Amino acid sequence: MSNPLIAPMGAHVLLTALLYALLTLARAPAVWGLGRRVDGSNPWADLEPRIGANLSNQFEWPLFFHIVCVLLIVSETSDPLALALAWTFVVGRILHSGVQILTRNIRLRGIVFTINFLAVLGLWARLFVF
């Protein structure tokens, strides 16, 4: 039977794949000329750098999420607390992506990032404490 921590890990991978697809669409007018405005400009020009920055973020702190999940799986330490923290991280990453891409609200983005950060620290504590 599959470990339940694999599902939130897979959800994060799906989020990252979605961001790649979104970035491809945002760059389509500039790269392929698809969806350009009448004046030739890219209607997604304002969002494209934010999508790219968010995509880069998926390979920073989330690395520690995936590592700790693998360690929990290997050590057979996963439990409801670890699973709740893992899903908290994933939901937080989804919210973080929405805030970073759709707004310029740095304060809100920081709050949402803190949730992600603490969820991963909680997973690491779960690995070492119990």
pLDDT in tens, 25-75: 998 877 666 677 677 677 788 999 999 999 999 999 999 999 999 999 999
The residues spanned by each domain of the chain are 6-129
Q: How far is CA 20 from CA 16, 26, 47, 58, 86, in A?
A: 6, 10, 13, 11, 22
Per-residue pLDDT tens digits for 75-114? 988 799 999 999 999 999 999 999 999 999 999 999 999 9
| Cα(66)–Cα(124) distance, integer angstroms | 11
Residues in CB range of 111: below 8 A, 6 or more apart? none
The structure's pTM equals 0.90
